[in-house]
């Protein structure tokens, strides 16, 4: 099954290249040297170790958020609290290392743990409301993201703000709490190793453990799960707790890996990137690694041309929007759970007769 997922990943990637070309080529044609623009977009990210490092740095939170989303989606839960969990997880991690007196070696682990637990509430609360009251986790998690943002900004402004910094940012994160950098000349940090390892563990969880197996049964066919007598409410809630912990932990890792101070003024968007990565990877944790790297590569290329040429940053945004459309729409064709959500849940079960168009080999 990993093979068929890989095929669709490749198909989607080819579609993406076409889409990017359609937007980028006309813009490049206006400029004196159109080839240079394309060249920078396609090859620029690899020309210099710092830019190549950027790809990996950006892919790190995308992998973790993608994994969080995949685990929840696999259980049939369309919980979009990853964005809020990522934000709040980052903030709670920074708050912990700033406020709680800890020995140097314990700063990062304790900070990340507290951040993961606090931030996971943004996924856990919609999960609980779903299990207890059958409230749509999609709606409540989307709404809660904004609650997380404004509660977070309030906390930064009133409790963590460094008056000397001249902006609404926290005090500096202690050097001892920061995650070690791994590759000279880049900002690649220990979090990348954690993210890759987490994706591998996630694959083991989903496909090789009892919990993951039960979770997939619930996600693919809740009626079958009920027939077997599986504790559906607990299984779906558990998936959302795990997802929330991973996404919130990712926020903490992002802060301790790359930032000097907590400086997010709005939702950073890494959670959304994670959703795209998970959909692109068909909720397969191992494929999330290349999917996240690919999305980051597009982002870095876009940033480079916006910085170096007279290309409006809106064009880069447009490319990213189209990428989102391609990724999500081609997934909708194949993902029955998404289809169910799009068509209205529990709606009329219509038997899909996949039409196999084959030509005789004569």
Measured between alpha carbons, how far is 10 from 102 in angstroms, rounded to an integer? 47
Q: Which stretch binds other proteins (CB under 8 A): 59-67, 120-128, 282-290, 351-359?
A: 351-359
Q: Is 349 in the site for other proteins (CB under 8 A)?
A: yes
Measured between alpha carbons, how far is 130 from 226 in angstroms, rounded to an integer? 17
Q: Is 163 in the site for other proteins (CB under 8 A)?
A: no
Contact present, 310 and 358 (Cβ < 8 Å): no
Contact present, 81 and 247 (Cβ < 8 Å): yes
Q: Is 282 in the site for other proteins (CB under 8 A)?
A: no
Site string for other proteins, 311-340 (x = CB under 8 A): -------------------------x----
Nearer to other proteins, 147 or 226 (CB): 226
Least Å from the CB of residue 223 to other proteins? 5
User: Would you state the structure tokens that stand for residue 331, as one six-digit string?
Assistant: 């997934």
Nearer to other proteins, 223 or 266 (CB): 223
Least Å from the CB of residue 245 to other proteins? 17
Least Å from the CB of residue 56 to other proteins? 31
Measured between alpha carbons, how far is 50 from 183 in angstroms, rounded to an integer? 10
Interacting positions 176-235 with other proteins (CB under 8 A): 208-211, 213, 216-217, 220-221, 223-224, 226-231
Contact present, 251 and 87 (Cβ < 8 Å): yes
Q: Is 29 in the site for other proteins (CB under 8 A)?
A: no
How many Å is the Cα radius of gyration of the chain?
21
Q: How many residues bind other proteins (CB under 8 A)?
A: 29
Distance (Å) of CA 256 to CA 125, 188, 225, 238: 26, 12, 41, 27
Distance of CA 40 to the CA centre of its chain: 26
Give me the residues that bind other proteins (CB under 8 A), please: 208-211, 213, 216-217, 220-221, 223-224, 226-231, 336, 348-351, 353, 355-356, 358-361
């Amino acid at each position: 099954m990993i093979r068929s997922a890989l095929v669709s990943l490749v198909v989607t990637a080819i579609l993406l290249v076409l889409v990017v070309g359609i937007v980028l080529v006309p813009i490049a044609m206006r400029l004196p040297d159109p080839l240079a623009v394309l060249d920078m977009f396609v090859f620029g990210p690899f020309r210099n170790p710092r830019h190549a490092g950027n790809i990996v740095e950006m892919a790190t939170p995308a992998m973790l958020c993608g994994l969080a989303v995949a685990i929840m989606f696999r259980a049939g839960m369309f919980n979009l609290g990853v964005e809020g969990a990522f934000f709040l997880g980052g903030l709670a991690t920074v708050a912990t290392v700033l406020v709680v007196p800890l020995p140097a070696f314990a700063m990062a682990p304790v900070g990340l743990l507290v951040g993961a637990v606090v931030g996971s509430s943004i996924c856990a609360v919609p999960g609980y409301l779903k299990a207890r009251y059958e409230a749509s986790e999609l709606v409540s998690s989307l709404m809660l993201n904004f609650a997380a943002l404004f509660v977070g900004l309030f906390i930064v402004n009133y409790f963590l703000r460094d008056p000397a910094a001249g902006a609404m940012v926290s005090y500096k994160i202690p050097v001892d709490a920061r995650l070690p950098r791994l590759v000279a000349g880049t900002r690649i940090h220990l979090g990348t190793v954690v993210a890759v390892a987490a994706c591998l563990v996630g694959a083991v969880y989903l496909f090789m453990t009892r919990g993951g197996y039960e979770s997939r049964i619930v996600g693919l066919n809740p009626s079958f799960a009920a027939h077997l007598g599986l504790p559906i409410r607990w299984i779906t809630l558990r998936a959302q707790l795990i997802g929330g912990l991973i996404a919130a932990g990712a926020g903490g890792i992002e802060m301790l890996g790359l930032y000097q101070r907590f400086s997010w003024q709005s939702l950073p968007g890494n959670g959304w990137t994670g959703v795209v990565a998970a959909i692109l990877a068909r909720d397969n944790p191992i494929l999330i690694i290349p999917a996240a790297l690919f999305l980051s590569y597009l982002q870095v290329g876009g940033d480079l041309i916006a910085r170096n040429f007279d290309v409006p940053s809106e064009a880069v945004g447009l490319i990213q929007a189209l990428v989102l459309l391609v990724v999500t729409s081609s997934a909708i064709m194949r993902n029955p759970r998404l289809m169910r959500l799009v068509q209205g849940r529990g709606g009329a079960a219509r038997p899909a007769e996949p039409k196999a168009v084959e030509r005789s080999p004569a």
